[in-house]
Structure 1
Amino acid sequence: MKLQFGNFHVKEIQFGTETKYENGVLTINKEEALAVVREDEHITEAELVIARPGDKTRIVPVKEAIEPRHRIGGGTIFPGVTDELMQAGNGTTHCLKGCSVLVVGKHWGGFQDGLIDMSGEGAKYTYFSQLQNICLVADTDEEFEKREQQKKNRALRWAGMRLAEYLGKVVAELQPEEVETFELEPVTKRTAEVQALPSVVYVMQLQSQMEESGYNDLVYGWDTNHMVPTFMHPNELMDGAIISGSFMPCSSKWSTYDMQNNPTMKRLYQEHGKTINFLGVILSNLNVALEQKQRSALFVAQIAKSLGADGAIVAEEGYGNPDADFIACVVELEKAGVKTVGITNECTGRDGGSQPLVALDELANAIVSCGNVSELIELPPMETVIGELQALARDGLSGGWDNDPILGPSVREDGSIIMENNAMFCGDRVLGWSTKTMVEY
């Protein structure tokens, strides 16, 4: 497979009479864009707001992030999800870099939603504070889940994808400012020089814990709860084959933007043919029952060994129950003779004193930590709130609370907040963005 990303670097976003891209400036006709959002009759209210790096702005509850793109030659940027199923990972896709579509609840949040600060102390906890963000602030008539802690957020998430496709079309006919090329030969057709290098496979453990459809990550539109570990080409995964689900404490979640721009995958590509032979990606799952966990670990190890992998990187979307899947996968790979490095966050409690992962094993002796989900964070008030600040406390966001007997309310009267890292939108960045780690005393 050969994939080319034609990149356009967005330096500024503004509203205007025409949706266009010119000299680093993305101009959006707001009414046209909102008409795309409102194609779903379940959208009852919608607005677009721009959030820029350095703004004294807080955004909550954030549900999803998507990079605007356009597939040259036709076809959706999310095959099997927003349109007909087709192969991703071949051809050319144009990308608006340096910006994202953020899907934000106008009122209602939930366990899986998070917070972004565009400046100040909070900005360092999330990658999205560095981007020019088009915030789709919307509400729906999905009354059945408004006050549910777990929300599918379907209408809002799909609206975000449609908006990203609408914006991506502005560069359909333009010449890219930069072209990135990603190409891997079939595993058995590589040169002797490449074959002689250490062979490495990348294992992505996607969130799939919910047995009811509508919550989990999707692969070509397929609910990951129903999949078994599968070998895939990395190009597919960077080119829209995966979309984020609506489950998992938010700092641990992988947004669709993260899937589209997976830094670990890109670094493996950079090293391919130089220091390693990058075999590809094994997509695995994170289910609930112990037998399911063990079965998936055995599948992963068998695929890696059959491919001839010398080493593996395992990345886990989540923590808690999924830690058992994560450790089981690392252990089975090691038992199969595949040297393995794991990447995950930890849940060591607010005092940092608890066991970091639910499951541990002596064979899991090389783990990269992306920080403690329970770390307490205090943030000052912001001049502007996009969405609804009270959602952090009222709606069961994983890092906020209505009232704590010792700490008081998560949202204070002056607009300052105290919360756990849990509520930072995709803050732990296990796919490779993370700037955090644990400190060993």
Structure 2
Amino acid sequence: MKLELGHFYVKDIVFGSETRFADGVLTINKEEALEMVREDERITEADLVIVKPGDMVRIVPVKEAIEPRFRVGGGPVFPGVTGDLMQAGNGRTLALKNMSVLAVGKHWGGFQDGLIDMGGEGAKYSYFSQLMNVCLVADTNEVLEQREQQKKNRALRWAGMKLAEYLGKTVADQTPEEVETFELAPVTKRTDGENKLPKVVMVLQPQSQMEELGYNDLVYGWDANRMLPTFMHPNEVLDGCIISGSFMPCSSKWATYDFQNYPMIKRLYQEHGKTINFLGVIMSNLNVALEQKERAMLFVASMAKNLGADAAVVAEEGYGNPDADYTGCLVALEKAGIKTVGLSNECTGRDGASQPLVSMDALATAMVSTGNVSELIQLPPMPVVIGELESLARDGLSGGWDNDAILGASVREDGSIIMENNAMFCGDQIVGWSTKTMVEY
């Protein structure tokens, strides 16, 4: 399977009379784009706002991030979701780099939504402050969800994907500035040199805990809660076969943008044929019942062993209940004789003194932490707010609160905020490009 990702580097984004990309500038016909968004009758209000790194802007509630792309030769960017089902990971896909489309609620937030500061002290907490972002700020008629803690955010998420495809079409007939090629031969047809190297598999545990459909990550449009662990080509992940769900506390979330650019997968690709033989991806899931968790662990360990894996990297989207799936998978792989490294954040409490993972085991000896979800963050007022700042305190964002006996409300009268890292949009970047570093005391 061979995937070519053609890169177009966006240097600026502006509004204009025609939607096009030329000389590094993405021009958007705002009314035309919004007319397309409003074709979904669930969208009651919508606006587009452009923000850039360094802008003194706070965005909340952020629900999703997507990289604009175009699939050469036809077909949807997200097979089984925005169009017919087809194989992802082959051929050529064009991408607008240095930017994303952000789906932002005009009013209502929820447990799974987050915050981004584009400038100031808060910018360091989210990767997306480094990008130019086209914010789709919208409200919907999904009234039943407005005051619910858990929201499917379906209308806004789908509108964001539709807008990303609309913008991606601007480069349909152009030659990319750079082409990134990803190619792996079938596992049984590797070269002698590759076969002599340590065989490594990547195990992904995307969020799939909700038994009710509509909240979980989708794989080719299929709810990941209904999956059993499945062996997949890494190109499929990089080429739109997975979209993000709307369940996970936000700092632990993997946005669709993250799947499209998964840094850890790219890092394993870089070492393939040099220091490792990268076998591919085992797509697992996160379950609720213990029996379901144990079944998934057995599938993952058996699959990795029969692929001949010597080592594995396991990444968990989430914390808390999913920790049992995560550490259980690490232990099952170690018991199968496969050396395993885990990637996750941790929940050590606001004082950093609590047990970092719900489930611990002596066999889990190699884990990389991407930060504490409960760390308190205080930020000064921001001159401009996109969305609705009150949602952070009012609507049950996982790191916000409407009142605390000691700390007060997350949103103060002067517009300054106090919150847990939990509410920072994709703040822990478990996928592999965290901006955080370790400090030794």
State the TM-score, normalizing by the size of structure 1: 0.99
- In structure 1, what residue type is equivalent to 2:402? D
**Alignment match, 1:414:** 414
Q: Does residue 133 of structure 2 align to residue 133 of structure 1?
A: yes
**Alignment match, 1:433:** 433
Q: Does residue 273 of structure 2 align to residue 273 of structure 1?
A: yes
Distance 2:324 2:370 in 1: 18
**Alignment match, 1:185:** 185
Kept after mapping to 2: 8 A contact 1:372/1:438: no
Alignment partner of 1:386: what SS?
A: strand
**Alignment match, 1:261:** 261
Distance 2:26 2:211 in 1: 40
Kept after mapping to 1: 8 A contact 2:13/2:25: yes
Distance 1:440 1:54 in 2: 30
Per-residue CA deviation, residues 53-73 of structure 1 (Å, 9 max, x unaligned), is: 000000000000000000000
Q: Please report how far the alpha carbon of residue 439 of structure 1 lies from its aligned counterpart in structure 2 after TM superposition.
A: 4.7
Distance 1:437 1:147 in 2: 37
Q: Please report how far the alpha carbon of residue 36 of structure 1 lies from its aligned counterpart in structure 2 after TM superposition.
A: 1.5
Alignment partner of 1:207: what SS?
A: coil
Q: Please report how far the alpha carbon of residue 222 of structure 1 lies from its aligned counterpart in structure 2 after TM superposition.
A: 0.2
Distance 2:418 2:170 in 1: 41
Residues 2-21 of structure 1 aligned to structure 2 (within 5 Å): 2-21=2-21
Distance 1:217 1:138 in 2: 22
**Alignment match, 1:58:** 58
Alignment partner of 2:122: what SS?
A: helix
Distance 1:40 1:213 in 2: 20
Distance 1:405 1:282 in 2: 45
Q: Please report how far the alpha carbon of residue 120 of structure 1 lies from its aligned counterpart in structure 2 after TM superposition.
A: 1.3
- Structure 2: gaps (5+ residues): none
Alignment partner of 2:315: what SS?
A: strand
- Structure 1: gaps (5+ residues): none
- In structure 1, what residue type is equivalent to 2:350? R
Q: Please report how far the alpha carbon of residue 440 of structure 1 lies from its aligned counterpart in structure 2 after TM superposition.
A: 5.9
Alignment partner of 2:431: what SS?
A: coil
Distance 1:328 1:436 in 2: 26
- In structure 1, what residue type is equivalent to 2:383? E
Q: Please report how far the alpha carbon of residue 369 of structure 1 lies from its aligned counterpart in structure 2 after TM superposition.
A: 0.2
- In structure 2, what residue type is equivalent to 1:398? S
**Alignment match, 1:85:** 85
Distance 1:142 1:267 in 2: 40
Kept after mapping to 2: 8 A contact 1:369/1:437: no
Distance 1:66 1:433 in 2: 16
Distance 2:315 2:102 in 1: 24
Distance 2:235 2:93 in 1: 11
Distance 1:66 1:290 in 2: 33
Distance 2:125 2:440 in 1: 20
Alignment partner of 2:294: what SS?
A: helix
Distance 1:39 1:360 in 2: 49
**Alignment match, 1:357:** 357
Q: Does residue 299 of structure 2 align to residue 290 of structure 1?
A: no
- In structure 2, what residue type is equivalent to 1:47? D
- In structure 1, what residue type is equivalent to 2:72? I
Alignment partner of 2:351: what SS?
A: coil
Kept after mapping to 1: 8 A contact 2:254/2:317: yes
Residues 278-357 of structure 1 aligned to structure 2 (within 5 Å): 278-357=278-357
- In structure 2, what residue type is equivalent to 1:402? D
Per-residue CA deviation, residues 389-421 of structure 1 (Å, 9 max, x unaligned), is: 000000000000001110011001111100000
Kept after mapping to 1: 8 A contact 2:346/2:371: yes
**Alignment match, 2:229:** 229
**Alignment match, 2:113:** 113
Q: Please report how far the alpha carbon of residue 436 of structure 1 lies from its aligned counterpart in structure 2 after TM superposition.
A: 2.3
Distance 1:112 1:44 in 2: 22
Across the aligned residues of Structure 1 and Structure 2, the Cα RMSD in angstroms comes to 0.7
Q: Please report how far the alpha carbon of residue 435 of structure 1 lies from its aligned counterpart in structure 2 after TM superposition.
A: 2.5
Distance 2:326 2:433 in 1: 19
Q: Relative to structure 1, is the Cα distance of residues 438 and 360 closer, same or farther in structure 2, using a 3 angstrom cutoff?
A: farther
Kept after mapping to 1: 8 A contact 2:205/2:284: yes
Kept after mapping to 1: 8 A contact 2:67/2:257: yes
- In structure 2, what residue type is equivalent to 1:14? V
**Alignment match, 1:32:** 32
**Alignment match, 2:383:** 383
Q: Please report how far the alpha carbon of residue 85 of structure 1 lies from its aligned counterpart in structure 2 after TM superposition.
A: 0.3
Alignment partner of 1:62: what SS?
A: strand
Q: Please report how far the alpha carbon of residue 23 of structure 1 lies from its aligned counterpart in structure 2 after TM superposition.
A: 1.0
Kept after mapping to 1: 8 A contact 2:127/2:435: no
Q: Please report how far the alpha carbon of residue 35 of structure 1 lies from its aligned counterpart in structure 2 after TM superposition.
A: 1.4
Q: Please report how far the alpha carbon of residue 121 of structure 1 lies from its aligned counterpart in structure 2 after TM superposition.
A: 1.3
State the TM-score, normalizing by the size of structure 2: 0.99
Per-residue CA deviation, residues 147-167 of structure 1 (Å, 9 max, x unaligned), is: 000000000000000000000
Number of equivalences: 441
Per-residue CA deviation, residues 276-298 of structure 1 (Å, 9 max, x unaligned), is: 00000000100100011111011
Per-residue CA deviation, residues 74-115 of structure 1 (Å, 9 max, x unaligned), is: 000000001100000000000000000000000000000000
- In structure 2, what residue type is equivalent to 1:353? A
The alignment-based identity, stated in percent, is: 77
Q: Does residue 43 of structure 2 align to residue 43 of structure 1?
A: yes
Distance 2:233 2:105 in 1: 34
